[in-house]
Amino acid sequence: MSDAAAALSLCVLTVSDTRTPVNDSSGDYLVESLKTAGHRLHERAILPDDRYQLRALVSRWIADADVDGILVTGGTGFTGRDSTPEAVLPLLDKTMPGFGEIFRAISFAEIGTSSLQSRAFAGLANGTFVFCLPGSTSACHTAWEQLIRAQLDTRTKPCNLAALRARLLESPHMDVRAVDQGRSSEE
SS3 67: coil
- The verdict on whether omega for the bond into residue 158 sits within 30 degrees of 0, i.e. cis, is yes
73 and 47 Cβ atoms separated by less than 8 Å: no
Q: What pLDDT does residue 180 have?
A: 52
Tell me the pLDDT tens digit for each residue of 6-36: 899 999 999 999 999 999 999 999 999 999 9
Whole-model pTM? Answer: 0.89
Residues 89, 149: Cα–Cα separation, whole Å: 22
Selection from 15, 138, 128 nearest residue 81 by Cα: 15
Quick one: average pLDDT of 67-95? 94
Burial label for 30, CB within 10 Å (0-12, 13-18, 19+), is buried
Tell me the pLDDT tens digit for each residue of 130-185: 999 999 999 999 999 999 999 999 999 999 999 998 888 887 765 655 555 554 44
